[in-house]
Amino acid sequence: MEKFTIKSWAIDDRPREKLVAKGKLVLSDAELLAILIGSGSKNESAVALSQRILQSVNGNINELAKLSAEKLMTFKGIGEAKAVNIIAALELGKRRQFEALTEKLKITSSKDVFHAMQPIIGDLAHEEFWVLFLNNSNKVLAKHQVSKGGLTATVVDVRLLFKQALELFSVAIIVCHNHPSGKLKPSDADIHLTKKIKEAGTTLDIKLLDHLIITENAYFSFADEGVI
């Protein structure tokens, strides 16, 4: 079956050549996506296919990043390899955004933590528990995923958390996890874990500054609410 491969297009219509000749900023979202896809189907070019995929999420790249491989493969012309290419490219962009936010990030409020971590865990369908390690100027030294769980819970090894803090010579930490349900109210388990981490930190002289519960659009700060 003959496909609309990018090489068969006119030079001015080839997004790869257009990127090299004119720069990445001149390409539309659909053209960038078409480069990842490479080819369409017998009756549809890669750009047209890309436009159709983007239309399904109202042109929102953040929503596109949430699509699973299975969902992407429901579009005619998208097989597993192309779906994986799209997911991998969007995940790299997501990680780049996080690194840019936290490279020299100084934490001055819970909102700073939310803006740094929401792109990473805010829209996940499962729970993840992360920790930010801070120096004595409240600058982020590193961030680590401590655990990954199911829809409603995750198990945290407090010993591993503080092992990493000691290795980084961190003087303070901020922990956070997401609630896929969208509910911001901390559970009894959340409160118990927070107390456990705080007590362990006191023994090691590593202060727990805050614990955030993060959802797609909002957050709950244990410190702001006086729970910690």
Digit-coded pLDDT (tens) for 154-187: 789 999 999 999 999 999 999 999 999 999 999 9
For residues 82 and 32, state if they share a domain: yes
Q: Identify the pLDDT of residue 66.
A: 86
Number of residues that make up the chain = 228
Contact 184, 222 (CB under 8 A): no
Count of structural domains within the chain? 2
Residue 217 structural domain: 104-221
Domain end call among 98, 123, 156: 98
CATH of the domain at 151: 3.40.140.10
For residues 13 and 90, state if they share a domain: yes
For residues 117 and 61, state if they share a domain: no
Residue 173: CB atoms within 10 Å = 24
> Per the domain annotation, does 174 fall within a domain?
yes
Cα angle vertex 96, ends 91, 100, to 5°?
150
> Per the domain annotation, does 88 fall within a domain?
yes
Q: Which residues contact 199 (CB under 8 A, 6 or more apart)?
A: none
> Per the domain annotation, does 85 fall within a domain?
yes
Q: Identify the pLDDT of residue 12.
A: 46
The single-letter DSSP state of residue 109 is S
> Per the domain annotation, does 55 fall within a domain?
yes
> Per the domain annotation, does 64 fall within a domain?
yes
Q: Identify the pLDDT of residue 105.
A: 81
> Per the domain annotation, does 133 fall within a domain?
yes
**How many H helices and E strands in the chain?**
9, 5
Query: Would you say the pTM of this structure is higher than 0.75?
Result: no
Instruction: Collapse the DSSP code of 89 into the 3-class scheme (helix H, G, I; strand E, B; otherwise coil) and give the result.
Output: helix
For residues 91 and 113, state if they share a domain: no
For residues 94 and 108, state if they share a domain: no
% of the chain residues with pLDDT over 90: 65
For residues 59 and 117, state if they share a domain: no
For residues 121 and 60, state if they share a domain: no
For residues 78 and 108, state if they share a domain: no
Place of tokens 């699509």: 67
> Per the domain annotation, does 228 fall within a domain?
no
Residue 3: CB atoms within 10 Å = 16
pLDDT digits (tens, 9 = 90+) for 98-122: 666 655 688 999 999 999 999 889 9
Place of tokens 């010579």: 169
For residues 82 and 119, state if they share a domain: no
- pLDDT tens, residue order, the chain (228 aa): 455 555 555 544 588 888 888 888 888 999 999 999 988 777 888 899 999 999 999 999 988 988 999 999 999 999 999 999 999 999 888 777 766 665 568 899 999 999 999 988 998 989 999 999 999 999 999 999 999 886 555 789 999 999 999 999 999 999 999 999 999 999 999 999 999 999 999 999 999 999 999 999 999 999 999 988
Q: Compute the 3-state secondary structure of the chain and give helix, strand, coil in percent, each to the nearest 5.
A: 45, 20, 35
